[in-house]
Amino acid sequence: MTTTSSTIAARVEALQEGLAGKMPAEAAAAFGGEQAALDAAGVPAGVLSAGAAMPDGDLLDAHGTATTLAAARAGKPAVVVTYRGAWCPFCNVTLRAYQEQLVPALAERGVGLVAISPQKPDGSLTMAEKNELTFTVLSDPGNQIALGLGVLTAPTDEVRGAQQAMGLDLAEINADGTRGIPMPTVVLVDADGTIRWIDVHPNYTTRTETSEIVAALDLL
């Protein structure tokens, strides 16, 4: 059982315990191998660092209306989160924790929160409604933000086969018909659109804790 004060790591552990034994063995092996490979590879070379301009692109809000990250920030500093999609249980756990723990802390500091994924707008709407999110959730056709940050990845053929066997086809879910997904990443962007702090998690089962984000904000 999770509480509003529990860490994301604790929530993920509970999620994994609940999934244990329920997934086909071949799929579990494929996902386990993928996670080990992502851990071994680490953060990709060329990821943007503090001081760089935050990338932007032609985005869509949860109702399909054209927008941009700059428009969503509305001249305010923001925490920008890239996530894989509403289909990803680890993303649901994380964004729910951010709603409970991070949103109040950011409100006190006058900082916005924007979550971005490559899925179609109806997926963004599903994510927002399912987890009762009050912050901005955007769709990024073509993974423009992830590509600009240097955190774009895609499942291996083995993992893609396991996903499809479980009824998941990213080409059907993503807004541009591709299978690209971002590594879960948290970026602190100042009012001028400059990156002040970035935390990349190649292994999607781990995420940036709320306490780490708040600590980085307070240092800045």
Q: What digits encode the pLDDT tens for the residues 17-50?
A: 888 778 888 888 999 999 999 999 999 999 999 9
Residue for token digits 């895609």? 154
Amino acid present at 48: L
Checking if the pLDDT of 202 tops 70, the result is: yes
The domains of the chain, with CATH numbers, are 8-219 (3.40.30.10)
Identify any residues that bridge with 78 across adjacent strands, giving them in sequence order: 112, 189
Count the alpha carbons within 13 Å of 153 in the hemisphere toward its beta carbon: 28
What average pLDDT does range 172-184 have in this prediction? 96
- Containing 78, the helix (H) or strand (E) segment is strand 78-82
Checking if the pLDDT of 2 tops 70, the result is: no
Q: How far apart are CA 71 and CA 215, in angstroms?
A: 26
pTM: 0.94
Q: What digits encode the pLDDT tens for the residues 57-100?
A: 999 999 999 999 999 999 999 999 999 999 999 999 999 999 99
Q: How far apart are CA 162 and CA 169, in angstroms?
A: 10
Q: What are phi and psi of 124, to 5 degrees?
A: -65, -40
